[in-house]
Structure 1
């Protein structure tokens, strides 16, 4: 009810001036009729004068009122436009804030998703490291006296070794020594550790076998129950790291490599140099420079490095990349220098055996 009364007062206030104006007009006409002569001619003349009077007064008045009304309308429209513009600005600011909040929310969700993925990766990664440790600890060379008996190209191989029932790290060291002794005794040079040039070796030290790859296969088959599971797990860990996006792969491969001993690195080097691991494992080792801390010493002969280099060139990899920036044990030379020298020798040998074969020298 109060709202209705208030509305009525407003309506009366708006029209009261019009009502007053109409009363004035009526009163003026009434006075004009009573103060003038009522004869026809005088009445007509009086009406003409009244009409001219009102015409002269009302026309400018209405014109002025119309101008005021126009100005009032323009002012109202200006106010309305200003209010509309401000409302649009506020709406734009709100929309901008909404977009910023949405962007922040999206970024937060992406970071959360990335964090969850990283956490899942690390959980799996460290479980795989635990498994690798368990596999290594399970090494147990059970018999004290063993012998390798095989043949390569109809050349008999009989090699005895004594592992003394060693387990875990000692077993790995013994496997590394056994492979080294096997290569020394049957791979072209009996003085395999200390002699690089075959021309400096007496003829009676020269063996008929000249194939590190075949000798490694004989060794692998003899100890396959230990090595197959071990190398497959290394391959799966490196593959898992390589295929995971959005992580610092070098960081995690370094963590994994820190768990690998020097004898294990040597065994891994021979594995990827042979047909047993060169197709699948070698590309992963090259990608992460996994043999970076493998020393070049008496346990690795130049001709074995040449075997690796030949495989790397065949697969299209830069031979020195797998060794990273590591140096020899004495720090005097780097793997980069060794690989460069031996790559030239390998290229010459390939050219001599097959002149039509072309190897990309840019891989040196």
Structure 2
């Protein structure tokens, strides 16, 4: 076994054993030096200072280097043991720090999972309410309506030939607000909930025009809005484009309009009604930012029809 390996196996018990051997060896050496002196100079104790000085020089010159060397060895062994213990302590602290970091990381992941789970529970609950509201206005209401649904009645009013611009269309829609207003309010609240509460949302509680327009989409934010958008039929999407028409930022529908643009909610809206390009829907391209239409293929059909 090499010296380095011996140092690696050094323990307090082994150090105490080594120190005991060093002490015994030093005691033996001291005894031998005194015995050697007394054997050579056995005339008894002298009363001369010079003799005692010579005796001191002999003892000091003989024992001091040897005892100093043995003391140095004992000190080095003690230092080695202390260094080893400090290294063990350092490694243990590193392991503890690593374990704590892993624990904190695990807690953060658990927290993220819980936040996502809470968000999705609420989102899908709201989505269920949305679908029920949409189903209600899409179902035929009775004999007096000739089998038409609420959304059919509202569409006939909004897209009547006498309505010439978006402002008039919005006014006509508001007159029928009792039929479909509840649905659009539910839709707005879900979009607002997504923007504010989706995990890692940059909007959070700072829900305003600036944050809606300029904050980057969080991870999966568009996915949730796309899930919601997928349940809207063409009729509801066309009415939504009219419903969110407003005059400016001071209007109560302005933030709704910005959410429509943020999530490209009109991407799948056709610009035709009864196989003809509708002028009102065509005008929405001038009102909404192009982001509202995403990568709409209906716009291409519309442009081709214009040519």
TM norm. shorter chain > 0.5? yes
The whole-number CA distance in structure 1 between the counterparts of 2:58 and 2:136 is 115
Determine if contact 2:246/2:254 at 8 Å carries over to the other structure.
Answer: no
**Corresponding residue for residue 237 of structure 1:** 190
CA RMSD of aligned residues (A): 3.6
1:322 aligned to 2:298?
Answer: no
Distance 2:111 2:60 in 1: 74
| Matched residue count | 260
8 Å CA contact 2:155, 2:239 repeated in 1: yes
After TM superposition, the score normalised by the length of structure 2 is 0.70
- 1:177-198 Cα deviation digits (max 9, x unpaired): 4432x2x2x13xxxxxxxxxxx
Deviation at 1:269, TM superposition (A): 0.6
Contact (CA 8 Å) 2:170, 2:245: kept in 1 or not? Answer: no
For residues 290-334 of structure 1, what are the alpha-carbon distances to aligned partners after superposition, in whole Å with 9 as ceiling and x for unaligned?
A: 111112224663454435634x4xxxxxx10011111127x5577
Q: Cα deviations across residues 145-186 of structure 1 (Å, max 9, x unaligned)?
A: 5xxxxxxxxxxxxxxxxx41335xxx4345434432x2x2x1
Q: Which moved more, 1:299-308 or 1:109-118?
A: 299-308
Instruction: Kindly indicate whether the alpha-carbon contact (under 8 Å) linking 1:176 and 1:267 is maintained by their aligned counterparts in 2.
Output: yes
Q: Which runs of 5+ in 1 are unaligned?
A: 1-8, 34-45, 146-162, 188-209, 313-318, 339-364
Residue 97 of structure 1 is matched in structure 2 by 95
Superposition TM-score, scaled by structure 1 size: 0.60
**Structure of higher CA gyration radius:** 1
Change (3 A) 1:273 1:93: same
- Structure 2 unmatched runs, 5+: 1-19, 201-218
The residue correspondences of 1:222-261 to structure 2 (distance < 5 A) are 223-244=176-197, 245-246=199-200, 247-261=219-233
8 Å contact 2:266–2:294 — kept in the other structure?
yes
Bigger relative CO (Cα 8 Å, ≥ 6 apart): 2
Matched residues in 2 for 1:98 and 1:129: separation?
A: 46
Find the aligned partners of 2:239 and 2:220 in 1 and give their Cα distance.
27
Contact 1:241 1:249 in 2 (8 A): yes
Q: Which residue of 1 aligns with 2:264?
A: 289
